[in-house]
Amino acid sequence: MNLKDKIGQRLMVTFYGPELTPAVAEFLTTTRAGGVILFGHNIESLGQVAQLNRALQDLAARNGLPPLLIGIDEEGGRVSRMPADGQKWIAPSQMAQSAAGSGAPGMCAGVTARQLRRLGFNLDFAPIADVNNNPANPVIATRSFGSDPKLVSQAVTEAIQTYIAEGLAPCVKHFPGHGDTSVDSHLGLPIVHRSMARLEAIELAPFRAAFEAGVPALMTAHILYPEIEPEDRPATLSRYFLQTLLRQQMGFEGVVFSDALVMEAIASRYSVPEACFLTIEAGADVAMPLGSFGMQRQCIERLTEQAERLEWDAPLARIAAFKARYCQPPLEADSQAENADAEIITSATQRSITVVGATAALPLEAEVLPVVIDFELPIASIVEEERQPGKLLAELLTARWPNLHYLAVPAASPQEQTEACLQAATRASRLLIVTRNATRLPEQAHLLKALLEVQPKTVVIAARDPYDLTLAQNAALRLATYGDPPASIRALVGALFGEFRPSGQLPVMLAED
């Protein structure tokens, strides 16, 4: 293997669009890339992405390249890349899985693994091992299994064991822990002032559990720990975290992936080519520069210039072994198995719906004038990608309440509809308020408080973070869904109207007065 091939195998790249165009093919073959990661803009339908992944592997084979790692962020909940015809296989969020109880993380991981393998993926950047112990965390939140390291460790173990059994590579993230941040690393560099003792007690526990479960891959976190890191570098670029702690002290022997190097946590301090070199120098096996073709080619140039300073044999051996194990042919389509998997997602999601406080108000009955105020939030973080708020909740509730008055309100800026909301709430015989991240959006929180003052017969549904329920302690009924993928919305409506008794348990502590 020449130097160009060696460098290519240590990069996971990206391209725009749903087709393997001549330009994309030329980029992949000339860079000798070891893998690609697909995002929402690469995926239009199940059939299209399956064909794209076949074409990518055929391209590698025709050009004498090892099989490609084809990865995706398919976490469930609000981070899913599935197209419209794949919605019924989107798992509820990891926090919802915890709420559903033991067994649910494995059930959901199994469905996700099988569905991704049917589509030709061999790597999922999941599960998340971050302990979400900071309610103000803007990027992890319900992507985490919860706030208790023991609970998170158990769920991570269950998910990883299932992924491995199904033949899809899991990649645990974000090492050494992204749960105690208040900055989205897509937008800036989180700085966490914690000691090593604190990290050992909380953040590292689920990663140790993941290693014991045999997880074959890990993704780094773009986080600065000033009290721990001796070189003032984010963990992704830190020899201390990736070599001293991860390899030497914790004994991890799998493949280490950097998180995307175009994220502002890194790109605000370093050029992407320099960060690409620094993460590999620090101990990452595979760097993910992403960005434009030109940017990614610059990363190759930088690695070529610094090749003598980098270790090659051990990282390339880890990557080759990883590919030999997980770069397997796709699963064959099986409509019966796929329908069964959709039922598994439905069952797990129904178990996740959580009532906080009294349950006497369920099921809801027919109403003279029911009103729903839905604080719609297209995305809370860049990791979710662009999407339009679904109308599924409105459709399902209107089918139950034909006389429903439904108000969709921008979650981040509801001021223009404040008066209309208050008037509707005053007249309502039953008011449902659907919040999305109200604890982090002051205007939404203010309107929620005003609505609760004028209408005591209110059901508050936290459709994203359960922490919103701390703002609604005087509501008649409070429920948490831990996310709003289609399965969670359907389960919510089923719970509201008595199709099943909600049994979910909060996986986080709420700061109740």
Which sequence positions are flagged as catalytic? Answer: 186, 259
Instruction: Decide if 307 contacts 3 (C-beta within 8 A).
Output: yes
DSSP state of 255: E
Q: In what order do the strands lie in the sheet with 370-376?
A: 354-356, 477-480, 458-462, 430-435, 370-376, 405-410
User: Alpha-carbon distance 226 to 121, whole Å?
Assistant: 37
Tell how far CA 166 is from the center of its chain.
20
CA 114, 119, 120, 124 torsion-angle sign? negative
Distance from the first to the final alpha carbon of the chain: 63
Element (H, E) at 267: helix 264-267
Peptide linkage before 174 cis (omega within 30 of 0) = yes
In 3D, which of 434, 423, 415 has the Cα closest to residue 377? 434
Identify which of 374, 407, 379 has the alpha carbon closest to the alpha carbon of residue 493: 374
- The burial of 310, by beta-carbon neighbours within 10 Å (0-12 exposed, 13-18 middle, 19 or more buried), is given as middle
> The tokens of 449 are what?
């408080």
Any residues with CB less than 8 A from the CB of 56 and at least 6 apart, and which?
A: 20, 28, 36, 68, 70, 120
104 phi, psi to nearest 5 deg: -65, -45
